[in-house]
Structure 1
Amino acid sequence: MNRLTLMLVVLLGAAFGAGGMWLAERAAPGKLGAADQAQVEQVVHDYVLANPELIPQAMQKLQERESGRAVAANRSRVETPYAGAVMGNPNGDVTLVEFFDYNCGYCRASLPTIDRLVKSDPKLRVVFRELPILAEESRDAARASLAAAKQGRFAAFHEALYAGGQVSAQSIAAAARQTGVDLSKIPDDADTEIAGNLQLAAKLGISGTPAWVVGDKLLSGALPFDRMQEAIAEVRAARN
């Protein structure tokens, strides 16, 4: 069986779960005779041509599975906040993690959703991870935000900086003054924390902001409240 056909069998396996994987395992090279292999190739070939939508569906399932494994392997690093970069219940039973950039309009648009989630769910902990990837000013804002986290003023600074519009040296300084953050005390490990977040995002397959981790799921974009609430509920349900 050629490699392309085997890949298609595996993709069908991912799309159809246990039954499909049974087929994939039995279609591996050396497991079937030539006639049987030719038959499987023809079945897969015909089915994929008749149902081409299966390929992106299967690829998505495989991607979700791989991201879930990456999250599980790095859970402690993902869910452990930097100093006070956390909102909600610090001892909550479910942790929602946001990778964000202060220059990201979708991150700004997600603020009301996060606020609503925290207010409606007293057992939710939200951890924020700096991911300054959009502009040089994003890194300056991230370093200031880490200073705010160290000084116990993260939530206030976070909201004030987003409310200040376009990120600049002036808007960062204004948010710091408004919230009592001393920008002369940028943590010595700020750049190390940012570099670690960038490496962590690469491991998880994160390429943009906002990106969310809840349980073993990786979600992307400015998601509606109901979708976020559903993902949190799924984590709790899986533990029961």
Structure 2
Amino acid sequence: MIHQLGRIASFALLAASTTTMVAVAQQDAPKQVPPAPAQATGAQAPSAPVATAEAPKFPAPDPKNFTASKPTKEEINQFLTASWGYDENRVWQVAAIMKTQAEGITKVVVYVGDKTGKQKPGAFGFFALPDGKHIIAGDDVYPFGANPYADARAKVQADANGPYRGSADKTLELVEFADFQCPHCKEAQANMDKLVTDFPKARIVFQNYPLERIHPQAKLAAAYGVCVTKLGGNKAFFTFADSAFEGQEGLNTADGAQLTLNSAVTKAGLDTAKVDACAKSPETSDAVEQSVKLAEDLNISQTPTLVINGRQVPVGGVPYETLKNIIQYQEKLDGISQ
């Protein structure tokens, strides 16, 4: 199990080094966002602005740091507005769009600050790829563009078939990728319950993402969840899930897991023998693997992660009001009436 400060699953929160928001997430591999690069081909990358007690006054951009034609400053600002616009206090300025030694790969540096002056401003860098649809920040790849979450939204709408609460309509779809053995997933359930109340028009889906390498009993728990849904429906699943998370310590051993899961099945009003037989079937194993593949296709590497119409946010590392604000902002971007 790896716990790491500063790992953010979504570019929406990627500038965490310049804000007070810090994610604590459970993941299968550590990933760290580095500071902006110190040097670039053909020009000296700009230094970060000096911290002040007031809103940051970014230095005037140096034309020598704009040696690449793509992406344009307008495209970068559209992308950052889509990603960061939920935070009305966040301000930024594109400081450099520079060619690199690799043809078609552009180095971008952005100054990021806070209108209130309470947070230290900083420089944030990433590489824009030749396809115009992706960037590399730190050691990960993120979608890029004025509507960077559109492809992921379509993928989730097509393939996220887990049990759900709320609306059957997928106009606003909140998909939680979670692991029954993950402590942060257990903690996140309180926020997920609040979302059900605060967004009654949303379709809120639970999608299995067992991290077997660190949680040996997680796949079995996921299989039981699939079968409870199959035999008892959505309501039975969430009763099962509440019980499984409540008794999470019991999942630490094979014997304990069997007792914990059987108890959760009983609370859901189902027959334990039937669910156990279903959980051992190849069809159920395939269903769990398909859910894992969806998470991997979306480049999700930590649990719990909430996908909000394609936008990834770490549920456990974000204050509830911020999470709610991001959802409302995504509704606005997608033209969804409140």
TM-score by length of 2: 0.54
Distance 2:288 2:70 in 1: 39
Q: Secondary structure at the match of 1:5?
A: coil
The CA distance in 2 between the partners of 1:145 and 1:200, in whole Å, is 17
Structure 2 CA distance for aligned equivalents of residues 207 and 11 of structure 1: 32
**Bigger shift: 141-150 or 189-198?**
189-198
Question: 2:8 maps to what in 1?
Answer: none
Q: How many matched pairs?
A: 217
Taking a change above 3 Å as real, the CA distance of residues 11 and 53 of structure 1, as seen in their structure-2 partners, is: farther
Q: Does 2:326 match 1:231?
A: yes
Which whole-Å CA distance do the structure 2 matches of 1:29 and 1:60 have between them?
18
Is residue 175–residue 306 contact of structure 2 (8 Å, CA) maintained in 1?
yes
Counterparts of 1:54 and 1:165, CA distance in 2: 39
Matched, 1:161 2:244: yes
Give identity over the alignment, percent. 20
Task: Decide which moves more: 182-191 or 96-105.
Answer: 182-191
Structure 1 match to 2:124: 54
Cα distance 1:29–1:97, how it changes in 2: closer, same or farther (>3 A)? Answer: closer
Specify which structure has the higher proportion of strand: 2
Aligned partner letter, 1:18 = E
The alpha-carbon distance between structure 1 residues 149 and 23, as it changes in their structure 2 partners (threshold 3 A), is same
> CA–CA distance in 2 between the matches of 1:221 and 1:12?
37
Q: Give unmatched runs, 5+ long, in structure 1.
A: 31-40
CA distance, structure 2, for counterparts of residue 232 and residue 11 of structure 1: 34
**Aligned mates of 1:130, 1:216 — CA distance in 2:** 17
- 1:135 corresponding residue in structure 2: 215
Taking the aligned partners of 2:68 and 2:265, their CA distance within structure 1 comes to 51
Confirm or deny: 8 A CA contact 2:306 2:314 kept in the other structure: yes
In structure 1, distance between residues paired with 2:226 and 2:67: 44
Residue 285 of structure 2 corresponds to 191
Q: Could you tell me how far apart the structure 1 residues matched to 2:201 and 2:301 are?
A: 29
Q: Could you tell me how far apart the structure 2 residues matched to 1:147 and 1:216 are?
A: 27
Contact between 1:71 and 1:217, CA under 8 Å: does it hold in 2?
yes
Do the aligned partners of residues 198 and 12 (structure 1) sit closer, same or farther apart at CA in structure 2, a change above 3 Å counting? farther
CA distance in 1, matches of 2:263, 2:172: 34
Once residues 169 and 305 of structure 2 are traced to their aligned partners in structure 1, the CA distance between those partners, rounded to angstroms, is 22
1:174 to 236, 260, 263: 263
Q: Is the 8 A contact 1:70 1:204 kept in 2?
A: no
The aligned residue for residue 35 of structure 1 is none
| Residue number in structure 2 paired with 1:18 | 75
Cα offset for 1:224? 2.3
Alpha-carbon RMSD across the aligned residues, in angstroms, is 4.0
Query: Is 1:144 matched up with 2:205?
Result: no
Greater helix share, 1 or 2? Answer: 1
> Counterpart of 2:117?
none
Q: Contact (CA 8 Å) 1:100, 1:209: kept in 2 or not?
A: yes
Query: How far apart in 2 are the matches of 1:11 and 1:101?
Result: 43
Within 5 A, what are the aligned runs for 1:46-85?
53-55=123-125, 59-60=136-137, 63-65=141-143, 68=149, 71-72=152-153, 74-78=155-159, 80-82=160-162, 85=163
Q: Does 1:200 align with 2:288?
A: no
Q: Report the residue type matching 1:109 in the other structure.
A: E
Per the alignment, residue 23 of structure 2 pairs with none
Say which is worse superposed, 180-189 or 58-67, in terms of deviation.
Answer: 58-67
| 2:175 partner SS | strand
Q: AA paired with 2:227?
A: A
Residues 1:235 and 1:73: Cα distance change in structure 2 (over 3 Å): same
Q: How has the CA–CA distance of structure 1 residues 182 and 173 changed in structure 2, closer, same or farther, with 3 Å as cutoff?
A: same
Who is 1:102 aligned against? 180
Distance 1:70 1:164, change over 3 A: same
